[in-house]
Structure 1
Amino acid sequence: MNERVEGFVSMTVDDFVATITLDRPSKLNAMTPSMAAEIVEHMKRCNEDDAIRAVVLTGASTKSFCAGSDIGTLDDYRTPWEFRNRPDYCDAVRALLKPSIAAINGYAFGGGLETSLSCDIRIASANARFAAPEIKLGWIGGGGMAAFLAHSIGPSNAALMLMTGDPIDADKALAWGLVSEIVESAEQVTARAQEIARTIAQRAPIAAETAKSNLRAAFNMPQEDAIRYERDLQTICFATDDAREGREAFREKRQPRFRRR
């Protein structure tokens, strides 16, 4: 199934995996307000559709995942308050209940970096570059840049990126823990992300979604609270039909058939 809303964002669904593609390669997939609105709608659809169990987010280019906001559209906001309350694509990605993977094929700058950081897993091509360049233009990121960088790469490395605005390459991103894997070519990175997504989609969907919630809690709660929360989530998962199916499949030495129930 292939859906294209008027604009520059497309979505396909195959084998329980949704692939959402930023499709404005002539502008390095720079984000416009209409593209942000499309992403918000696609993320809502992914949350509501049981036929979607994992989501891949990528860019239609061998040069760029997303170069951030289209600077030319920022002056279209009539007031700073309107800018503050705009529909935010990073918020939409973070609100996704299903596991998400960023397939980073080239530049991930500004809002593009924030979008990738809002995903659960990041796979990069060898030509990928990462930057928080807003400081060079007189502002800072607003989609979770500092919080996610500090968690991902540590406060000193985060400060280096945030305060210089200079890019790092894929090898440094891997060494710092910003990405999980490097794939040699930009053409291969989406395929690798989809491979991981299909693997996740084969697991019990409620357990996968709960694992995502659990991981987020681990970052945000005191340790003992996080462990208690994990135990509660485990109990909820254990009571599902899918967990019973998993135990039966184990006893019968067959592959489980999970139904998100």
Structure 2
Amino acid sequence: MTDNLLFSIDGHVATITLNRPEKLNAATPAMSKAIVAAAEECNRDDRVRCVIVTGAGPKAFCAGSDIAELDSYATPWDFRNRADYCDAIHHLLKPSIAAVNGYALGGGLETALSCDIRIASSNARFAAPEIKLGWIGGGGMAAFLAHSIGMSNAAKMIMTGDPIDADQALAWGLVSEVVEPEALLDRARALAETIASRAPIAAETAKLNLRAAFSMPLDKAMQYERDLQTICFATEDALEGRAAFKEKRAPVFKRR
């Protein structure tokens, strides 16, 4: 790990905090490796049922990769094969929530888009500014934005590099909620705890199902969903859920 990344587990909720506020939480290669390690720990640890990703300080979620560090890669191929923080968040097995405080730029926007749910503070700003520097995003920017806000809006963001504010992000469906900055982490935590209270295998399966819905033809996606439902139905947690319903009590799920 690194001092520029904070990682904690409280109950069933893990929190990954990019901790470089003086640089708008821009990610260095060391931070990228630490994010990969934190994500892998979340995947391994059965205590973790939901993950919050956020940035330290009031100004930024993440301003993307630290531009000053990019020339440290010996070749473009080394850059291509770097440990990527966006990929690490995308490959989380557990449900994830981006608590976007302030700027989410470039790789920071891709990191937020890699999460399942996005909540923004009212001062959040979102942009894909790579085109202003001579390149494009490489962490799923086009695919994530096109799925989230539609082709035309995605093209506008990617081809201009200009930012949108939190209200526009909400109107376009880029985020699910906008709250005041001081309420952001509390709201993210409350939502994470709600998700963590549900059957964990079902929540992880729902994540797989949602991603399949974007990558499969409709008939295949529906069949896949039925298969996933059957797998969930066979778990001990599903048996517990049915028993709790009959007994009119809260279920106790054990990820089995």
| Class of the TM-score when normalised by the shorter of the 2 chains | over 0.9
Matched, 1:162 2:158: yes
Which residue number in structure 2 is paired with residue 216 of structure 1? Answer: 211
Give SS of 1:157's match. helix
Give 1:42's aligned residue. 38
| Match in the other structure for 1:132 | 128
Q: Measure the CA separation in 2 of the matches of 1:184 and 1:72.
A: 32
**What does residue 178 of structure 1 align with?**
174
TM-score by length of 2: 0.99
* Aligned 8 A contact 2:104 2:124 in 1: yes
Cα distance in structure 1, aligned partners of 2:132 and 2:57? 25
Name the residue aligned to 2:234.
239
Number of positions where the alignment pairs a residue of Structure 1 with one of Structure 2: 256
Alignment of 1:13-28 (within 5 A): 13-28=9-24
User: Which residue is 1:85 aligned to?
Assistant: 81
Whole-Å separation in 2 of the counterparts to 1:150 and 1:6: 34
* Separation in 2, partners of 1:6, 1:164: 34
Runs (4+) of structure 1 moved beyond 4 Å?
A: none
- The secondary structure found in structure 2 opposite 1:52 is coil
Distance in structure 1 (CA, Å) of the matches to 2:76 and 2:8: 35
Structure 1 Cα separation of the partners of residues 28 and 198 of structure 2: 35
Alpha-carbon shift at residue 162 of structure 1 (Å): 0.3
Query: RMSD value over aligned CA atoms?
Result: 0.6
Say whether the 8 Å CA contact 1:214–1:230 is kept in structure 2: yes
Q: What amino acid is the match of 1:260?
A: R
* Kept after mapping to 2: 8 A contact 1:39/1:89: yes
Aligned partners of 2:12, 2:131: CA distance in 1, in Å?
40
Q: By how many angstroms is 1:15 displaced?
A: 2.0
Partners of 1:198 and 1:15 lie apart in 2 by 9
Q: Provide, for residues 169-199 of structure 1, a one-character-per-residue CA deviation record: whole Å limited to 9, x for no partner.
A: 00000000000000012x3212111110000
- Scaled by the length of structure 1, the TM-score of the pair is 0.97
Summarize deviations over 1:120-147 as a string: whole Å, max 9, x none: 0000000000000000000000000000
Stretches of structure 2 that go unaligned for 5 or more consecutive residues are: none
Aligned residue type for 1:120 = D
% same residue: 71
Counterpart check, 1:33 vs 2:29 = yes
**Residue identity opposite 1:69 in structure 2:** S
Task: Provide Cα deviations, 1:61-91, integer angstroms capped at 9, x if missing partner.
Answer: 1110001110000000000100000011111
- Matches of 2:10 and 2:72, distance apart in 1: 37
Gaps of 5+ in 1: none
